[in-house]
Copies of this chain bind each other. A is one copy, B any other.
């Protein structure tokens, strides 16, 4: 029986989602909890890996169990054995053909930042501090040129190992979360390695007046990593949710 689950996790204590020998990872915690509850050794699939320090508010995972369990009771037991910084928000039975990664249609990430001369305790490891005033309106305008099917060669880590950089961004904007606190929210059919963090770094160049919206369009066209902004740190990044065609609602 196949299950799909929505999980929330604080990435700070983990070396990313994917299992790595001798390092704490989200996948390892999930598989250990499933082993404890069901006795079964399973491979947990996720909608995608998240890097060390990156958070998730709605990561989707799937796994198969030989012995069927009632989904809600299973979720309660898994949450009991999971660390408090990784918890299932939802767990349901699903069609055997479902695969958290291959069935994903679109994903939304958000990158949270705040403008303040002083670091805020509650945002430590949760958001990027920007010490000087920035032009949020210019960043908002720049978001408009991100929408579409484009070659994102300028916005990928140089060690990504990929050669096809074409992805579609459906929606991108800056959201005002609270006083002096914002999120760059972006939805696409897929993202290259470090893509959201490099997009954010480049938008911050726009906010600081170092790049114009026209410059950003040129950076996209020229596809050179060196023209784009820096890769901002992982701790401001959140995988917000993943949408599947086969599921009626947002998973």
Contact = CB atoms under 8 A, between A and B. Distances in A.
Contact of A9 (B57, B84, B121): B121
Contacts of A126: 122
A75 interface: yes
Q: How many identical chains are in the complex?
A: 2
B121 A84 contact: yes
Best-buried of A75, A86, A88, A122 by chain B (most CB within 10 Å):
A122
A215 interface: no
Contact of A8 (B8, B57, B87, B121): B121
Interface in A69-124: 75, 79, 84-90, 116, 118-122, 124
Contacts of A61: none
Given A75-B118, A79-B118, A119-B79, A85 B10 contact: no
Contacts of A118: 75, 79, 87-90
Contacts of A119: 79, 84, 87
Nearest to A57: B122
A1 to B, nearest CB: 21
Contacts of A121: 8-10, 84-87
A112 B242 CA distance: 27
Contact of A124 (B55, B84, B116): B84
Contacts of A55: 122
Interface of A: 8-10, 55, 57, 75, 79, 84-90, 116, 118-122, 124, 126
Given A85-B121, A122-B126, 19 more contacts: A8-B120, A8-B121, A8-B122, A9-B121, A10-B121, A10-B122, A57-B122, A75-B118, A79-B118, A84-B119, A84-B121, A84-B124, A85-B124, A86-B121, A87-B118, A87-B119, A89-B116, A89-B118, A89-B120
27 contacts: A8-B120, A8-B121, A8-B122, A9-B121, A10-B121, A10-B122, A55-B122, A57-B122, A75-B118, A79-B118, A79-B119, A84-B119, A84-B121, A84-B124, A85-B121, A85-B124, A86-B121, A87-B118, A87-B119, A87-B120, A87-B121, A88-B118, A89-B116, A89-B118, A89-B120, A90-B118, A122-B126
